[in-house]
Structures are given as structure tokens and as C-alpha cells.
Amino acid sequence: MEIIPVDDHITAIDHELLERPGVGVTYVVRGEDIALIETGTAMTVPRTLAGLEQLGIPREAVSHILCTHIHMDHAGGAGHLAAELPRAAVYIHSMTMPHLVDPSRLMQSSRRAIGEAAWPLHGEMRPIPEERLRPAESLRLDLGRDVVLEAIATPGHSPDHLSYRERRSSGLFIGDAAGLDMPPYNLFFPCTPPPTYDLAAQRNTIAMLREQDISRLFVTHWGPHDDVEDKLRRAHEKLEDLVAVVTAAMDAGDEDVAAINARWLPEVRTDYPGALIAESWGEMSVVGLMRYEKKRREREQSQA
């Protein structure tokens, strides 16, 4: 577990997602109140709590837990954190709030998408009492000291995906809206997971973000980035690379997911967790985009 200073009121706790540093963070945002953004999985929660202790933040001082979306690497630890942070409300888009009350169906779907190699590194979700949950899509959360968090709809990666603009830093907690960027592992690619990935929405989200006045991106996978325009441009280009590879394979009748992923992410990786991420999350992205494209083509045929 590493504490990473980001700003005078923002700190990142590297909670060692997938049991390694440089893969996932929980952000601590401090005004007069304290908010956490992103929870990691159930297995990362002990390191997040250790980070709070190292920062000298009592558990009773945390008032808010914000999730960008429902996927387990972003909200899977919410129930466990809520149990340890007794005053904190949990915020997520209202469309997926029921999955935090009863996570059983979400865990089944997540296991299929993540794959058996990575699944043991995620842990079990813990239900959250409904009265602890708050809808986040219209959130404007004033933490005091000019620290204000505002939700922005950023769908595509998932339909419930929200990002949170922070007024004092002019930064944006972006979740997976523009993919992952992990310099320690030389990994940069969009995540397009099944079953609800929406390419049209993802393209619109990236285009919208490129028009915003954003000074920093606080990426969940991984860390703060000041090169906002360059990152969003690369996110657009890498997404279109994936679209081109997947659609060409489908046109040729090729549905070999591993082979398609190897063409899209050709760099051979032998390190851990770089190799696991490239294989598990890369193949998950191929499957998600193929599913989207199949449905799009079926709609076109039915309307012809």
C-alpha cells in the first residue's frame, strides 16, 4: 500500500488491485468533510483502511463513498468499506443501486466477464443496506473549503458510468470513461466489457470530455494525469484501433477472441500483473465490442 500526494486536498491510496501496486487507487478528497472515490474490490479494502490510518483519518470522519460505476474493481469493495466507515453514505447511479443492495446477480455476471484467471483476485461483495445508498447522477457534493464534487454522465464503458468534477483542482475523477493508463506496466487501452458496453455512447463521451475545461484526470487505473488532451486523443485513437481490428475479424468470420486480442495488443507481456491485465481485460474488451457490433448489425438487418 502506497500513499500518493496528488494535491493539497487530494490523496491517492494505491490499494494494490490484483495484489500488485500500480493497478488501482482509491482517492481521498478532503474539505471540511471527507469523501472517498472508488472502492476497489473486497480484497483491496484492508489496504484502503490502512491508508486512511496512515493519513491520520479516523474512520468516523469519512462521510461519503463515491463509485463511478458498478463494476467490481470500482464498487466491489463498497459494502465492506461501508461496514467499516459507519458515517459514510455510498453514492452510485440509481440504475445500478439495486446491485449494491443485492450483489448476487452482479457477481455472477462479473465472473463470466472477468474470467477464471482473474476472478479469485476480486473477492465477494457485501450487501449494503438501502438506507446507506444515495443516487449520484445529479450529485453536487459540497465538502467545504471550496471543494465541490459534481457528477457528469460519462456512459459507454457502462450505462451507469459517472465521472466527478472537482472544482478546486479543476480535475475530473474519470473512472474508466477513457480507459486505463498504467505507465508502470506500459499499458494504455480502452475497456469495452460485456454485457452493456455501448460504442456510440463511448465515442460521444470522449468527444464531450475533449471539449471540457479539465486541468487533470484522476484515473482509477492508474493515478493523476496532467496531459489531458493527449490522453483523451490517445483514448479515441486506441478505441478506433480496437473497432477496426474487431470489425475486420467479424467480416472474415473470425471469432477467436485470444487471437483478436493478440492483434490488438501485440506487445508480448511476461510480467505480472501486466500479462494478466493484457489477457483478461483485453479479451474482455474484445468480447464486449463484438457483442455490441453483433447487436448493431442485427438491428440494421431488421430495419432493412
Q: From residue 90, give the alpha-carbon distance in Å to each of 26, 43, 51, 171.
A: 14, 18, 19, 21
Q: What is the pLDDT of residue 124?
A: 87
- 3-state secondary structure (DSSP) of residue 86: coil
The residues that bridge with 149 in the sheet, in sequence order, are 141, 166
Tell me the average pLDDT across 140-160: 97
For residues 183 and 24, what is the distance between their CA atoms, to the nearest angstrom?
12
- Tell whether the model's pLDDT for residue 253 goes beyond 90: yes
Which grid coordinates belong to 109? 455476471
Contact 55, 28 (CB under 8 A): yes
Query: Which H/E stretch holds residue 65?
Result: strand 62-66
- 3-state secondary structure (DSSP) of residue 14: strand
Residue with the three cell numbers 461501508 = 82
Q: How many domains does the chain have?
A: 1
For residues 171 and 55, what is the distance between their CA atoms, to the nearest angstrom?
22
- Tell whether the model's pLDDT for residue 267 goes beyond 90: no
Distance of CA 255 to the CA centre of its chain: 27
Which range has the worst mean pLDDT, 41-50, 64-73, 114-123?
Answer: 114-123
- Tell whether the model's pLDDT for residue 119 goes beyond 90: no
Q: Is the peptide bond before 46 cis (omega within 30 degrees of 0)?
A: no
pLDDT in tens, 220-250: 999 999 999 999 999 999 999 999 999 999 9
Residue 184: pLDDT band by 50, 70, 90 thresholds? Answer: confident
- Tell whether the model's pLDDT for residue 193 goes beyond 80: yes
User: Longest Cα pair distance anywhere in the chain, in angstroms?
Assistant: 63
For residues 215 and 241, what is the distance between their CA atoms, to the nearest angstrom?
26
Q: What is the pLDDT of residue 268?
A: 59
Contact 78, 100 (CB under 8 A): yes
Alpha helices of the chain — where are they, by DSSP H?
45-54, 72-75, 78-84, 97-101, 104-114, 199-210, 228-251, 257-264, 274-303
Tell me which residue range forms the domain holding 35: 2-303
Residue with the three cell numbers 490499494 = 15
Q: What is the pLDDT of residue 64?
A: 98
- Count of Cβ atoms closer than 10 Å to residue 159 Cβ: 16
CATH number at residue 173: 3.60.15.10
Instruction: Name every residue whose Cβ is closer than 8 Å to that of residue 156 and which is 6 or more positions away in sequence.
Output: 177, 197, 198, 199, 200, 201, 202, 203, 204, 205, 206
For residues 175 and 157, what is the distance between their CA atoms, to the nearest angstrom?
10
